[in-house]
Amino acid sequence: MYLNTLQPAPGSKKKSKRLGRGIGSGKGKTCGRGHKGQRARAGGYHKVGFEGGQMPLQRRIPKSGFRSRQALLREEVYLSDLNRIDAEVIDLAALIEFGVVRANTKDAKIILSGELKRAVIIRGIPVSAGARKAIEMAKGKVEA
């Protein structure tokens, strides 16, 4: 193999179409731009999304959607999830340890959904009013 014999693979280099080289080329005179108009002229083009002065689509449609960055660190814990935890005192560390909430969770709140089958002590986790009542009915305790 010699440097002077190297050449690109067949079909990998496509020749560009030569414009404005006579009527026989098929792209002579107007060079495929048609007659007159903004797009036919040099430098004549408009910005992306421009609709000729009509209100563009991206401004006609209302804004929607929002993803709270705080919501990624907060979770709700159902009352029935507490049955999976094998500890007497339940705090955020216990919730993470038993896989009830994600490891990067900063805040959690216990809400009333399902039922609690044993007495537990909740420490340092906010509790909804209904969940507090259910925990106390199961002979449990909620500490601040």
pLDDT digits (tens, 9 = 90+) for 51-96: 989 999 999 999 999 999 999 999 999 999 999 898 999 999 999 9
* Class of 71-143 in CATH: alpha beta
Q: What is the pLDDT of residues 103-119, one digit of tens each?
A: 999 999 999 999 999 99
Residues 144, 138: Cα–Cα separation, whole Å: 18
pTM, two decimals, is: 0.55
What is the chain's mean pLDDT, rounded?
A: 93
For residue 141, the Cα-to-chain-centroid distance in whole angstroms is 39
**Phi, psi at 30, each rounded to 5°:** -90, -5
Above 80 in pLDDT, residue 144? no
Q: Give burial (CB, 10 Å; 0-12/13-18/19+) of 1.
A: exposed
CA pair distance 122, 143, nearest whole angstrom: 6
Q: Which of 133, 140, 75 is nearest to 105 (CA)?
A: 75
pLDDT bucket at 38, cuts 50 / 70 / 90: confident
Write down the domain spans for the chain: 71-143
Q: What SS3 class is residue 94?
A: helix
**Rounded alpha-carbon distances, angstroms, from residue 3 to 6, 13, 15:** 6, 19, 23
